[in-house]
Copies of this chain bind each other. A is one copy, B any other.
Amino acid sequence: MSKLDEVYSKLTIKTGAKIALVVLDGLGDIATAAQGNLTPLEAARTPNLDALVQSGCAQGRMIPVAPGITPGSGPGHLALFGYDPIEFEVGRGVIETLGLGIELKAGDVAARANFCTLDAKGIVTDRRAGRIATEVCERLCRILSSKIKKIGTTEVIVLPGKEHRFVIVFRGTGLEGPLTDTDPNREGLPIASAKPVDGKNAGQKKVAKLVADFYKAALPLLKNEKTANGFLMRGIAHQPDIPTFEERYQLKPACLAVYPMYKGLAQLVGMKKIEGPQTVQEQLERYVKEYDAYDFFFIHYKYTDKAGEDGNFAAKVKAIEDFDAALPLLLARKPDVLVITGDHSTPCALKGHSWHPQPVLLHSACSGSDKLDRFTETGANIGSLGIFEAKYLMRLMQANAKMFDKFGA
């Protein structure tokens, strides 16, 4: 733990205050000429957000990881949960597995995998096996998982994803990552062997042997498959040992997310997953019902990011307006501290995640007012929170919940 984290920890007191963190995934955007020089937040009609802002809010912008770094969903959310995403790195295999809705246990080693095509000499001829249909992937995974349940005493779990993608989980004792990829990263080369990143690490060496043994057992099962007679593994890593949210912040947390990936990330830090809600209306109604049972609510809304990834400006505006229309459901039982933000920006013009700091709005009895009329990127630039690293957001929420004693006399 860093010295600063130790200070935060020593100063923390329980207050029973309620905190809600609403993540509009990929909310941040950039204004371009093609968009009439507006961001989706600026173009959207948001009467309920406007009223909230005018009632007194602090705004700012958050650097998700570090200047210029575009985060995936994992690091983006870890930062929002107050974990330095550079210090707490979560392997892609783990993230991918969480995204499939699989519960990982501490020490599990997970890898993401692609089905691929090999020639007679074992040379990779298509790293994605022509992007086989998801049904084919599911059939191939069934073959592997029905025939390979264990290697020695280690349990093996094989699960299909979309198209050529699947995940492999090793569950046993003494396993550790990370290992190098078996993916040679281009066609014309054989499958690489997975090597311990730290050659002296016994857990990594054990996994290297498991991977080799898995290949020995699996490749013969696929040898008569024409389109996908091999596979490549990437991001082989173990579920990291992360201090739980509750011990770190003295807050009992719940997750209201619809998509498995975000439930998985919440679970990674020990949040309780509340299952059921499928729409933002249902999520916010459920928040009101569960208000007394938890101290902290992570509420995830996916559609802003989806629209951004599609480069669909109108859809992103619509997603923001849809959220705005649902917001009064949450305000029916206003938390003591309410934050609305994104996990990163997903500018329509870029059709993907970006490094641009996402706007953040914080409302509490002691947030003060930045005297802005709306919640937008341009307004947030001049807010009292400034432009800061996302990992500090949790500390600002705790401060606004009066969870910190004074530091020094």
Enumerate chain A interface residues (CB-CB to B < 8 A): 3-4, 7-8, 11, 29-33, 37, 39, 55-56, 61, 65-75, 85-86, 89-90, 92, 95-96, 99, 235, 347, 349-350, 352-357, 365-371, 377-378, 381-388, 392, 395-396, 398-399, 404-409
Q: A30-B369, A72-B409, A386-B357 are in contact. Are A396 and B67 (CB under 8 A)?
A: yes
User: Given A68-B398, A381-B382, A404–B4 Cβ distance below 8 Å?
Assistant: no
Q: Which residues of B contact A382 (CB under 8 A)?
A: 381-382
Contact of A70 among B56, B66, B404 (CB under 8 A): B404
Task: Give Cα A356 to B386, complex, Å.
Answer: 11
Does the CB pair B349–A366 fall under 8 Å? yes
Cross-interface CB contact of A409 among B31, B96, B357, cutoff 8 Å: B96
Copies of this chain assembled into the complex: 2
Question: Which residue of the partner chain, among B92, B349, B381, B388, contacts A67 with CB atoms under 8 Å?
Answer: B388
In Å, the complex CA distance between A33 and B37 comes to: 33
Across the interface, name the chain B residue whose C-beta is closest to A401: B68
Contact B95–A408 (Cβ < 8 Å): yes
Query: Would you mind naming 18 contact pairs between A and B with Cβ atoms under 8 Å apart?
Result: A4-B66, A4-B86, A7-B86, A11-B69, A31-B369, A31-B371, A32-B369, A37-B56, A67-B392, A67-B396, A68-B396, A69-B407, A70-B404, A75-B407, A92-B408, A356-B384, A381-B386, A382-B382
Given A71-B408, A350-B366, list of 4 further CB < 8 A pairs?
A: A30-B369, A33-B55, A92-B409, A354-B366
Chain B residues whose CB sits within 8 angstroms of the CB of A355 once the complex forms:
396, 399, 404
Q: Are B75 and A408 in contact (CB under 8 A)?
A: yes
A67-B395, A354-B366, A396-B68 known; A381 vs B378 contact (CB < 8 Å): no
CB neighbours of A405 from chain B (8 A): 70
Q: Is the CB of B384 within 8 A of A386?
A: no
The distance from the CB of A129 to the nearest CB of chain B, in whole angstroms, is 21
Inter-chain CA distance A407–B61, complex, in Å, is 19
Question: Bound state CA distance, A408 and B99, in angstroms?
Answer: 13
Please list the 10 inter-chain residue pairs (A to B) with the smallest Cβ-Cβ separation, ordered nearest first: A30-B368, A386-B387, A68-B399, A68-B395, A72-B408, A67-B392, A95-B409, A75-B408, A72-B409, A74-B408
Tell me whether A353 and B406 are in contact (CB under 8 A).
Answer: yes
A301–B357 CA distance with the chains assembled, in angstroms: 31
Inside 8 A of A368's CB, which chain B residues have their CB? 29-32, 39, 347, 356, 377
Contacts of A66 in B (CB 8 A): 4, 7-8, 392, 395
* Chain B min CB distance to A394 (Å): 8
Q: Determine the distance from Cα of A404 to Cα of B31 in the docked complex, in whole angstroms.
A: 21
**CB atoms of B61 and A386 under 8 A apart:** yes
Rounded to whole angstroms, the CA-CA distance of A399 and B354 in the bound complex is 9
A366 nearest CB neighbor, chain B only: B350
A269 and B39 CA atoms in complex are apart in Å by 39
Neighbouring B residues of A235 by C-beta, 8 Å: 409
Closest to A392 in B: B67
Nearest residue, chain B, Cβ from A78: B408
> How far is A71 from B11 in the complex, measured between Cα atoms in Å?
11
Q: Name the residue of chain B whose CB is nearest to the CB of A7.
A: B86
Decide: A407 near B70, CB < 8 A? Known: A367-B30, A369-B30, A369-B31.
yes
Q: Within the assembled complex, what's the spacing in Å between the Cα atoms of A226 and B111? A: 71
Q: Which residue of B lies closest to A64 (CB)?
A: B407
Question: Which residues of B have CB within 8 Å of A7?
Answer: 66, 69, 86
**CA separation between A405 and B354, bound complex, in Å?**
10
Closest chain B residue to A395, Cβ basis:
B68
A408 close to B367 (CB less than 8 A) = no
Complex CA–CA separation, A405 to B366 (angstroms)? 39
Instruction: Return the chain B residue nearest A385 by Cβ.
Output: B387
Q: What is the bound-complex CA distance between A65 and B406, given in angstroms? A: 11
Chain B neighbourhood of A29, CB < 8 A = 368
A38 to chain B, nearest CB (A): 9
